[in-house]
Every structure is written in C-alpha cells, then in structure tokens.
C-alpha cells in the first residue's frame, strides 16, 4: 500500500474513532463512498437477507458500531479504507441527514428554504458537512419513536434524506472526488433536533394494512419511466422505484416498472438491479438488528 494510502487510512480511523466517542456508529468506507468490507455472502445463490446475524462483518451499515475496539477491528479488516460512514437512525442520536445536492439544474438550498417558508418551520443551526462536489449535509436528530426512511428528491429536487438504514459520509473522509469537511462555524455545534413540521414531511403516511395493490396504482410512475429518453432511462427508473417503495407498493410495481424500462432500452438485468437499489435505499432496516 502506498504511503499516501496508509496516511489516509490512519486519518480515516482517527476521524471514525472521534465520531464513535460522540456515540455515532461508524463503518469504514472506500474512496467510492461505499462500505469498504466486502459482503461475506458474495456468490451465494438467491437473495441474501442477512444483516449481520451470521456474525461476520461485511454487511454495510449494519456493521456500524460506536465501540472503539470494534471500530478498530472493522478498519483492520479494511486497511484500504480512506473514509467512514455514520449510520443514521441509530441511538443515541437517531441521526437524520439532509443531503443538499448542487447540480446546474437545481438549487436544493433554496428549495429547502422555500419548504421552510411554506410549512412555517425554521432551519436550525446544526452540524454541516461540505461535500467535495459543493453540496452539504445537515445533521439533525429525531425522536426514538419515529422511523425516518431514506428518500431521493421526495421533498424537493436535489434534496435527499438519509434515515434508518442509511449513512452519511463523515467529515475528514477522503473520496475519489475530494475530502468531506465540516463547514466553518459548525464544528462546535451538536446536531440540532429536527423541527416537528419537517419531521412530518420526512415521515411518509402509515401504510394501510388493507392495501390491495390496485392495477392503477403507480400508473403515473410507469408512464414517467416510459417517457425517458436516452441518457435518463436509469435515473427515471430509479426515481420512480424510490417513490413506489416509499409509498408502500414497490414490490407490486416492480414487474411493471421493469417492463417499462425494457421498452425504453434497458436490459431486464439492468432494470431489476436499479429497482433493487431503490428498494435497499428506501426501506428502513429493522430496529431489532444489533451492530457488530
């Protein structure tokens, strides 16, 4: 391993241990921002539902821990790690991450301010992490009895939410695009409580136990995928699948979304892989799973 890589790995571990001291569960990340420890179930036949019950590491965010010895063991298993992820939705902070993207076609910061004005809540001063792409992550805390799911652009274009089952890239992490850093003036802050009104917006309505999965359910999402042009097919499919899973009928709509995506030019394998990614992102992890 090159000297610069060893240095980056040492810094990543140091930052991760500092976060763990604050009670934040962490995992090692590679330069791609993905969990650094490969899955122990790679190559196994059929869908793998294990989230760490097998006792091995390599289960992504489900490995996250705030125990210093366990953190060191995780990084020892991934000496190539140059960053760390912080698990959201876990005690004691029940962290919620508001990811404000910066793309030419959207101003997510302004969109969040418009939401605040419309729904009459104040965006609190809180820990803010600046991303290498020019975006930012706002750290908020939620109550222990509310599960905030992950979502992509559901609040507004360019605003993603990291909740239960998701993670935020921690400050000090080195990625392929640069370093994540604390915004000036926020290093001394603690994550602020999420405003109640915003919390309601982040939490989708309860799913009805009598949902029938009507054939018309999700028709608009299917049409949205069918209208995709080359270059936007995968993005549209991912967005539609996220909306379907957030509203409780993702599994029922998966086949129709797949057929629609295939009609636009994706292969069935590509379509189902994209839908599976949306399902993993938006479906919260069970609270009964314990970290390594």
pLDDT band at 291 (very low <50, low <70, confident <90, very high): very low
Cα separations (Å) of 71 from 81, 105, 224, 230? 12, 39, 43, 43
Q: Which residue has the tokens 């196994």?
A: 44
Counted domains in the chain: 3
What is the average pLDDT across 63-83?
96
| Domain annotation covers residue 288 | no
43 and 126 in a common domain: no
Q: Are the beta carbons of 283 and 241 closer than 8 angstroms? A: no
Q: Highest mean pLDDT range out of 90-104, 153-167, 174-188, 271-285? A: 174-188
Collapsing DSSP to helix, strand or coil, 38 comes out as coil
The predicted pLDDT at position 1 comes to 43
| Domain annotation covers residue 1 | yes
Dihedral pair phi/psi, residue 100, rounded to 5°: -100, 105
- pLDDT over 60 (residue 270): yes
224 and 189 in a common domain: no
- pLDDT over 80 (residue 206): no
- pLDDT over 80 (residue 208): no
CA angle 238, 244, 248 (to 5 degrees): 145
Distance CA 160, CA 15 (A): 24
Summarize pLDDT for 217-252 with one digit per residue, the tens.
788 889 889 888 877 888 889 888 888 888 878 888
Q: Where are the alpha helices (DSSP H) in the chain?
A: 3-21, 68-76, 108-119, 196-202, 219-226, 233-246, 250-264, 268-282
The predicted pLDDT at position 162 comes to 94
Report the percent of the chain where pLDDT is more than 90.
50
Summarize pLDDT for 2-25 with one digit per residue, the tens.
445 788 999 999 999 999 999 999
186 and 126 in a common domain: yes
The predicted pLDDT at position 3 comes to 47
The predicted pLDDT at position 251 comes to 82
186 and 101 in a common domain: yes
């Amino acid at each position: 391993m090159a000297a610069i890589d060893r240095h980056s790995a040492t810094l990543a571990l140091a930052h991760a241990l500092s976060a763990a001291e604050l009670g934040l569960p962490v995992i090692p990340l590679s330069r791609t921002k993905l969990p650094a420890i490969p899955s122990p179930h790679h190559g196994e036949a059929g869908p793998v539902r294990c989230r760490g019950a097998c006792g091995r590491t390599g289960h992504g965010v489900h490995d996250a821990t705030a125990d210093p010895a366990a953190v060191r063991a995780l990084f020892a298993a991934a000496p190539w790690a140059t960053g760390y992820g912080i698990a959201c939705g876990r005690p004691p902070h029940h962290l919620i991450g508001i990811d404000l993207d910066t793309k030419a076609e959207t101003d997510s910061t302004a969109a969040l301010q418009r939401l605040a004005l419309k729904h009459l809540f104040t965006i609190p001063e809180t820990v803010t992490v600046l991303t290498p792409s020019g975006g930012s992550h706002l750290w908020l805390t939620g109550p222990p009895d509310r599960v905030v799911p992950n979502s992509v652009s559901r609040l507004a274009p360019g605003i993603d939410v990291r909740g239960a089952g998701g993670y935020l890239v921690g400050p000090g992490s080195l990625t392929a695009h640069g370093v994540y850093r604390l915004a000036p003036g926020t290093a001394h802050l603690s994550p602020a409580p999420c405003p109640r009104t915003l919390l309601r917006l982040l939490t989708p309505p309860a799913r009805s136990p009598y949902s029938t999965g009507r054939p018309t359910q999700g028709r608009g999402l299917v049409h949205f995928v069918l209208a995709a042009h080359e270059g936007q097919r995968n993005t549209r499919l991912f967005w539609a699948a996220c909306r379907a899973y957030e509203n409780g009928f993702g599994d029922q709509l998966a086949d129709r979304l797949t057929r629609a995506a295939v009609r636009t030019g994706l292969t069935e394998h590509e379509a189902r892989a994209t839908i599976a990614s949306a399902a993993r992102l938006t479906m919260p992890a069970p609270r009964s799973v314990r970290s390594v």
